[in-house]
Amino acid sequence: GAVVSQHPSRVICKSGTSVKIECRSLDFQATTMFWYRQFPKQSLMLMATSNEGSKATYEQGVEKDKFLINHASLTLSTLTVTSAHPEDSSFYICSARYPGQGRGGNTIYFGEGSWLTVV
Amino acid sequence: AQKITQTQPGMFVQEKEAVTLDCTYDTSDPSYGLFWYKQPSSGEMIFLIYQGSYDQQNATEGRYSLNFQKARKSANLVISASQLGDSAMYFCAMREGQNAGNMLTFGGGTRLMVKP
């Protein structure tokens, strides 16, 4: 079963509005989560690193004020796309590392991803 | 320089045959991890297999095995007995260092198409 859950899976919003995407680690604590963006037929590009209890670290070229990240608890990180525009339409996906030792200890799991369409 | 390179943008394989997806990487860190993910058209990223830089044996997970050639810096994914459901994008990724915060760097991906 899923160990990282992302919601919503699909969202359509009007241009100028904001939309929030949630990423939850299920049954484990994730002090760090990652947000990626994927354009059609391209690879995943890291947007930011979400740190529980502190500010997110953004990659170069990613607007902090546009993509607000909040990691309020050890199991939840949220990405808010503010004042969305059609060019923000994309596939957004989060990931978290499953903690501990053993076979699963080094595994990084992804959420199901969220398709955002801004009209 | 590209940290992760997947040279095959697309590949065909006959059902029930084995296929190898190439991945080469570049890092100066002695500690790193290599991952393979499958991405079907729905978009989700499905973890397939992991290989640590210090692992002595090649990783295997069911029909998936990783041909880890450390000196050549390659980590090819081998899928045995291909099934129609294996048709998807496949991404190779690397995590560098012990305290890198688990950030993954991805290759460009390979689209695998399994023919009946």
Those of residues 31-90 in A touching chain B at CB distance below 8 A are 32, 34, 38, 42-44, 46, 49
Indicate whether A3 pLDDT > 70.
Answer: yes
Among the partner residues A34, A43, A115, nearest to B108 by beta-carbon distance: A43
Query: A16-60 pLDDT, tens per residue?
Result: 999 999 999 998 888 889 999 998 888 899 999 998 888 999 999
DSSP state of A59: P
* Exposed/middle/buried for residue B78 (C-beta within 10 Å: 0-12, 13-18, 19+): middle
Indicate whether B33 pLDDT > 60.
Answer: yes
Residue B103 has a pLDDT of 80
Determine contact, residues B27/A97, Cβ cutoff 8 Å: no
Query: A53-77 pLDDT, tens per residue?
Result: 889 999 999 999 999 999 989 999 9
Indicate whether B52 pLDDT > 50.
Answer: yes
